[in-house]
Amino acid sequence: MIGNREQKKAAAASPAARRQRLLIGGLVGLVLLYLALLPWLRHMSAETRRLERVAAAKQAEAARLAGTRSQLEAARAAAEGAPGNAPAQLRYAQVLADAGQLEEAARRAEAAAHLRPRDVEPLLALADIQQRAHRYDEAIRAYKAALVVAPQDPRALVGLGYLYISFGWNRDAGSLLRPAVRAHPENPELKVALALADMQGDNFAEAERLLLDIRRQYPENPTLWSPLVHLYLSARRDRDAVTAARDVLARTPGNVAVMNEMGRAYFRLNDLAQARETFHQVLALAPEDVVAHYYLGLCAQRARQPQEAVRELEFVLQRAPDYEQTKLFLGQLYLQTGRAEEGRKLLTEAHQAEVQGQKQARAGLLVSTKPNDPDAHYQMAQVYQEGGNTPRAIAELKRTLELAPNHAAARRLLETLQPSGGSR
């Protein structure tokens, strides 16, 4: 017996046994170290993927710019070599626009339009360029000129309709688009634009009818009928919004905008688990998405997790300070977490934004209900001017003068905002 114990001790003391114990101990240590470092490793892995995406984007942008430069040179040579050739001028305008040179692009598109006054293509290109340059009044003018040349052109009708909708001129949009939909019932883009105009005018039943009709016609093209999700959210039909969003995402799984709207619906249904899961899926696809970070902040606030809520809302404040009620909610959280001075400052800014928002809402309602009242458009222009949105103020002033050419106050303000072209 004693001999066996001595043999075991001798074996335990052997170099091989010691190495085995050291190896096992080392492995256990490595496992514990890995577990301790796991959050950091995950962060580094995510950061590596992010840097890879940034590098790939830079390479793609460099390749695009190189291609754009060669295209610009070729298009410039063709346009300058044949100043009377409308297609050459139009091609140059399009390449310039893609390169971000919108002023010269507009000039070349106008040249093409003068060379071919009965051709709608240069006018459509000009409207697109002016819209991209935020010269909304000039974009409206170009679309109207296109409709003089081709009164039933769906692209001009849809483009002008969307511009009207963006200004809250939903009755103008409806008057433009409703006859067009009757004339072209097979055109889904016209129906979508009309549905959005009806939605803006709170005519949800008619908007839903149009969008459901599109879904029946084009079930495999959810891009056309995905506004159903927004419609149901606007109508406070949150469960229907979730169902419609799932239908869209079954066909376009990476649709971030629809995922965000589904997350909003879950949040309003107080299903915080589903809302959070949805917004985290958005951030996996688009880590900088402001909407997802905002609603994750609200989810954390509702779940009484103030530190997490502060972190998410500070992310939004840094990137989009005027988004929704970020300043209000973050200011309240600062007060709750002992950051009183910062909280009071944000709440003051939130109150100022609310006052401005109420003023804009009242002016917008007046424009919507009295679309042919020049004073309604003038008041809207004043609100835009106060908010620093000069391009939209100019468009509203042009609309005022279209309705009342002798509106002295509108003309004076337009000359202030647009000294070289106020009377155009």
Q: Residue 350 pLDDT more than 90?
A: yes
205 in any annotated domain: no
Mean pLDDT of 249-256: 94
Percent of the residues in the chain that have a pLDDT greater than 90, as a whole number: 76
* pLDDT confidence band for 23 (50 / 70 / 90): low
Asked if the structure places residue 86 within a domain, the reply is yes
Predicted pLDDT at 215: 95
Number of folded domains that form the chain: 1
When comparing pLDDT for 169 and 12, which is higher? Answer: 169
Is residue 104 included in any domain, yes or no?
yes
Instruction: For residue 142, tell me if it sits in a domain.
Output: yes
Tokens found for residue 119: 């051709």
DSSP assignment string, 67-85 = HHHHHHHHHHHHHHH-TT-
Residues 6+ apart with CB under 8 A from 79: 85, 88, 89, 91, 92, 108
Residue 277: inside a domain = no
- Whether the CB-CB separation of 344 and 328 falls below 8 Å is answered with no
pLDDT (0 to 100) of residue 44: 46
Is 20 contained in some domain? Answer: no
Q: Give residue 120's domain range.
A: 64-151
User: Could you tell me which of 121, 135, 173 has the C-alpha nearest to residue 424?
Assistant: 135
pLDDT at 43 over 50: no
**90 is a domain residue:** yes
CATH number for position 85? 1.25.40.10
**Is 185 among the domain residues?**
no
HSE (side-chain half, CA atoms, 13 Å) at 76: 11
pLDDT at residue 263, rounded to an integer: 98
Which tens digits make up the pLDDT trace of 99-134?
999 999 999 999 999 999 999 999 999 999 999 999
